[in-house]
């Protein structure tokens, strides 16, 4: 004969005892202890949510970099309409490598808020690296350009453009300036490159100061004129 009815009765009795035990525990708490317990549970829940969000953000960053590199490789192969994902408002257009410190990043088109969230980007009103004038690439100091502080005068910066052109720039001086007093002239003689990010590097909020690294194309014999004013308008670097 089956003993299932007896087992069901025992299980129901155990569940009722558990409920009574929990109810008895809560009943023994005064108002203050109840509030403290509720606070502890809320903090624990918030901690679980933050950990989950951290894992999500890290995974998102890793996947996005894979997609950016794949998109840039497709451009080098001659493909068109190679946005890293269908809804992206930017494309990949170059890759920059700091040889001595072993850092590299895919450069995006247009320093919009979305683009800068995923990598360094060339300011749209500046020429492509290697073209006459000053090309400006900007990125956030706490992510894709956190290594910029480690670039020293004389360091070689290799830029590979989407058309397959490889260019070598030599880093020069670095300086700190307000975003609206950058001293950058996009139409300066020569073939120049500027890398820029917010400063100070350990700040938690965006301020008016920018850290600027000047570089020149190695094959270009024209002297640097980045610091020259010549009556020409300076290029603001507010967007990052």
Per-position b or e across 22-41, b if 16+ CB within 10 A of its CB: eeeeeeeeeeeeeeeeeeee
List 48's β-bridge partners, or say none. Answer: none
Report helix, strand or coil for 29.
coil
pLDDT greater than 60 at residue 2: no
Could you report the per-residue pLDDT of 120-152, keeping only the tens digit for each? Answer: 999 989 999 999 999 999 999 999 999 999 999
Q: Which residue has the tokens 């749209």?
A: 124
Question: Which region among 25-39, 72-86, 153-167 has the lowest average model confidence (pLDDT)?
Answer: 25-39
Mean pLDDT to the nearest integer, 162-177: 96
- Ordered by where they begin, the domains of the chain are 1-83 (no CATH), 89-217 (2.40.260.10)
pLDDT band at 87 (very low <50, low <70, confident <90, very high): confident
Q: Which pLDDT score is estimated for 220?
A: 46
- E-strand ranges in the chain read 92-98, 103-109, 121-122, 133-138, 156-161, 166-178, 191-198, 209-217
Could you report the per-residue pLDDT of 4-13, keeping only the tens digit for each? Answer: 555 555 555 5
Q: Which pLDDT score is estimated for 30?
A: 65
pLDDT greater than 70 at residue 90: yes
Q: Which pLDDT score is estimated for 228?
A: 36
User: Average per-residue pLDDT in the chain?
Assistant: 79
**pTM of the predicted protein model:** 0.70
List 115's β-bridge partners, or say none. Answer: none
* Bond from prior residue into 62 cis (ω within 30 degrees of 0): no
């Amino acid at each position: 004969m089956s003993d299932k009815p007896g087992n069901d009765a025992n299980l129901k009795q155990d569940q009722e005892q558990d409920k009574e035990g929990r109810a008895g525990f809560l009943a023994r708490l005064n108002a203050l202890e109840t509030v403290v317990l509720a606070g502890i549970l809320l903090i624990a829940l918030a901690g679980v949510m933050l950990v989950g969000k951290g894992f999500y953000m890290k995974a998102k960053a890793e996947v996005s970099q894979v997609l950016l590199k794949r998109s840039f490789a497709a451009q080098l192969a001659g493909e068109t309409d190679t946005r890293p994902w269908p809804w992206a408002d930017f494309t990949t257009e170059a890759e920059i490598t700091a040889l001595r410190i072993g850092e590299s990043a895919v450069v995006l088109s247009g320093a919009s808020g979305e683009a800068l969230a995923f990598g360094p980007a060339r300011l749209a009103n500046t020429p492509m690296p290697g073209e006459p004038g000053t090309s400006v690439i900007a990125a956030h100091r706490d992510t894709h350009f956190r290594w910029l502080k480690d670039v020293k005068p004389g360091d070689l910066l290799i830029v590979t453009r989407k058309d397959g052109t490889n260019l070598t720039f030599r880093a020069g001086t670095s300086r700190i300036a307000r975003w609206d007093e950058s001293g950058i002239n996009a139409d300066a003689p020569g073939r120049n490159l500027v890398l820029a990010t917010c400063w100070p590097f350990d700040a938690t909020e965006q301020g008016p100061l920018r850290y600027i690294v000047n570089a020149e194309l190695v094959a270009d014999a024209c002297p640097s004129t980045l610091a020259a004013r010549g009556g020409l308008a300076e290029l603001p670097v507010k967007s990052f």
